[in-house]
Structure 1
Amino acid sequence: MSGPTFEDNYDETYSHAGNVESGYASGSSSDASLPEVYFSKPHLKFLNQQLQRLSPQEILQWSLITLPGLYQTTAFGLSGLVTVDMLSKLNGPTKSNVDLIFLDTLHHFKETLNLVDRVKKRYPHVNLHVYKPADVDSADDFTAKYGAELWKTNEDLYDWVAKVEPAQRAYAELQVRAVLTGRRRSQGGKRGDLDIIEIDEKGLIKINPLANWSFSEVQTYINENNVPFNELLDRGYKSVGDWHSTQPVKDSEDERAGRWKGQQKTECGIHNKPSRYAQFLMAQEQKRQQEELSKALEKVSIEA
């Protein structure tokens, strides 16, 4: 008789789970030293209406004043680079340095990795936290562990191990409560109705300071402020992700049309609701951690 399938385990884990209420937010960290942040739905709607009228710099200043545990997640796209530069130039009594979190999937273009080094030199005051897939350090390691072209053979698993799990690990280890993202409405796809403030299923607060900006506005800022950018943008790329799922785009296409071209997919999993597989893996990891904790406590009790 065969063992339980993924679907069996998934149904057992989630059959009694309800949807998480995203109208309220609290930090994703359990560290009591950081204050919790709560937004009721009416308050969140009001804030989005007010922030909608502000410039990106003003939104950034509001975020610095309001949100503890604030970081910036970035793949060093144009919008993220604009945010880094704006933060470096904010004046005032509030802290303007925001640490960066970069998810190195081990499948970035060499031009992207070169850009990371250039950004570190241009903004030496910025702390950069790099997170890779667990227990691997190179593309060869990744292939040895998961097989060739995992993004083709199991897309959900690839998103989980290369992006979602490293992001969750970063948020937990760094006690992240809120993140600045580079997402904009003009990028098309699911981003067309983006709010300034969003709250995900885990209570993570996402701030999109450039949500109102067009691609041309971003380009103008980059050029006028001499901000370093990815060389691939001069070769027809507008949005750059992993080399295996990114292509140049035509002038008539959406900015992110070159990402996962020919597929229904428009996001990598970090900004999507977790897939069934990702939810199952999260539950299994939580179960493993709980079992390890129980064993450790039992050992301490025996030794005592």
Structure 2
Amino acid sequence: MLDDTLDSRAARLNDRYRHHAATEVLRRAVSDPDLGRVTLVSSFGAESVVLLHMVSVVAPGLPVLFIDTQMLFPETLDYQQEVAAKLGLTNIQVIRATEAEVARHDPDGTLHKFDANACCDFRKTVPLERVLSGYDAWITGRKRFQNSDRAALEFFEPEPPSRLRINPLAHWRSEDVQEYMAENNLPRHPLVARGYPSIGCAPCTSPVKPGEDPRAGRWRGQDKTECGIHFIGGKIVRGKVPA
């Protein structure tokens, strides 16, 4: 009998696609019965256009979830519109916290100053989880090179209790990302040229100096490296799901 636990499904998929290129992982994943209903979650940040372009080629009608935290840079909102139009993406869904949630948790817009985790939770994690509950798997743009917490990232990883995550670009280098964008003449996020190689919410993102880690400008000065949507059980996922 086929072992159909979440861990076994992820292992089976990683074995099946171990030698595939990113585009083929994505192309096959959107129709693989081991994955079920699939969506892409995109921040429309510095490197998001790579996966968005791949989706526009292999499955332009795939649902794309864009989390509007209501604290994004205006440049990000403009870029989202530009990319969607240029690539012909037909199923972008903007998700955000409700007015009631904002009024309850952050009525004056200062929560990020004294509890960034709580701010990320109600503006990103909770709204995303509401929508992701209708899917069996979601596609992310995470890559091993981005920080040490992602160094063991695989194409597929379990997200208990019942969902999988797909990371088609897990093995890409920074150079691969830049080459793909140049070869396909993809629009760049305007903030990248101004020193923002990783872009989140405006209050918690700062420019990065030459030689710094690309994500050094995210939550600078805080003991925080992730917004929370890539946590499982309160822990960052590095490979296999923490016990």
Shorter chain as denominator, the TM-score bin is: 0.7 to 0.9
1:185/1:223 Cα in 2 relative to 1: closer, same or farther (>3 Å)? same
Contact 2:154 2:167 survives alignment (8 Å): yes
Gaps of 5+ in 1: 1-23, 25-37, 277-304
> How is 1:48-59 mapped onto 2 (pairs within 5 angstroms)?
48-59=14-25
Q: Alpha-carbon deviation of 1:50?
A: 4.3
Q: Alpha-carbon deviation of 1:232?
A: 0.5
Greater mean alpha carbon deviation, residues 176-185 or residues 245-254: 245-254
Normalising by structure 1, we get a TM-score of 0.69
Q: Pick the structure with more strand per residue.
A: 2
Secondary structure (helix, strand or coil) at the match of 1:247 reads: coil
Aligned amino acid, residue 99 of structure 1: P
Contact 1:80 1:181 survives alignment (8 Å): no
Secondary structure (helix, strand or coil) at the match of 2:138 reads: strand
Instruction: Give me the whole-angstrom Cα distance separating, in 1, the residues matched to 2:139 and 2:234.
Output: 23
Contact 2:46 2:199 survives alignment (8 Å): no
Contact 1:189 1:266 survives alignment (8 Å): no
> Which deviations, in whole Å up to 9, do the C-alpha atoms of 1:241-288 show, x marking residues without a partner?
001111222342222221112222111011113559xxxxxxxxxxxx
Instruction: Give me the whole-angstrom Cα distance separating, in 2, the residues matched to 1:142 and 1:253.
Output: 37
Provide the residue aligned with 1:287 in structure 2.
none
Instruction: Give me the whole-angstrom Cα distance separating, in 1, the residues matched to 2:170 and 2:140.
Output: 9
**Matched residue pairs, number?**
231
Instruction: Give me the whole-angstrom Cα distance separating, in 2, the residues matched to 1:266 and 1:65.
Output: 33
Provide the residue aligned with 2:131 in structure 1.
170
Aligned amino acid, residue 64 of structure 1: V
Contact 1:100 1:128 survives alignment (8 Å): yes
> Which deviations, in whole Å up to 9, do the C-alpha atoms of 1:7-47 show, x marking residues without a partner?
xxxxxxxxxxxxxxxxx9xxxxxxxxxxxxx4453553343
> How is 1:126-137 mapped onto 2 (pairs within 5 angstroms)?
126-135=90-99
Greater mean alpha carbon deviation, residues 228-237 or residues 242-251: 242-251
Contact 1:134 1:161 survives alignment (8 Å): no
Aligned amino acid, residue 217 of structure 2: G
Aligned amino acid, residue 211 of structure 1: A
Instruction: Give me the whole-angstrom Cα distance separating, in 1, the residues matched to 2:97 and 2:192.
Output: 26
Q: Pick the structure with more helix per residue.
A: 1
Provide the residue aligned with 1:71 in structure 2.
39
* 2:216 corresponds to 1:252: no
Normalising by structure 2, we get a TM-score of 0.85
Gaps of 5+ in 2: 236-243
* 2:226 corresponds to 1:272: no
Secondary structure (helix, strand or coil) at the match of 1:267 reads: coil
Secondary structure (helix, strand or coil) at the match of 2:207 reads: coil
- Pairwise CA RMSD: 2.4
Instruction: Give me the whole-angstrom Cα distance separating, in 2, the residues matched to 1:243 and 1:40.
Output: 36
Among 117, 120, 130, which residue is 2:84 paired with? Answer: 120
Greater mean alpha carbon deviation, residues 53-62 or residues 152-161: 152-161
Instruction: Give me the whole-angstrom Cα distance separating, in 1, the residues matched to 2:89 and 2:234.
Output: 37
* 2:107 corresponds to 1:146: yes
Instruction: Give me the whole-angstrom Cα distance separating, in 1, the residues matched to 2:187 and 2:81.
Output: 10
Provide the residue aligned with 1:7 in structure 2.
none
Secondary structure (helix, strand or coil) at the match of 1:190 reads: helix
Greater mean alpha carbon deviation, residues 160-169 or residues 50-59: 50-59
Percent identical:
32
Secondary structure (helix, strand or coil) at the match of 1:65 reads: coil
Greater mean alpha carbon deviation, residues 43-52 or residues 112-121: 43-52
Secondary structure (helix, strand or coil) at the match of 1:73 reads: strand
1:144/1:182 Cα in 2 relative to 1: closer, same or farther (>3 Å)? closer
The higher radius of gyration belongs to 1
Contact 1:79 1:183 survives alignment (8 Å): no
Q: Alpha-carbon deviation of 1:142?
A: 5.7
> How is 1:105-254 mapped onto 2 (pairs within 5 angstroms)?
105-135=69-99, 145-172=106-133, 175-254=134-213
Instruction: Give me the whole-angstrom Cα distance separating, in 1, the residues matched to 2:113 and 2:233.
Output: 19
Provide the residue aligned with 2:238 in structure 1.
none
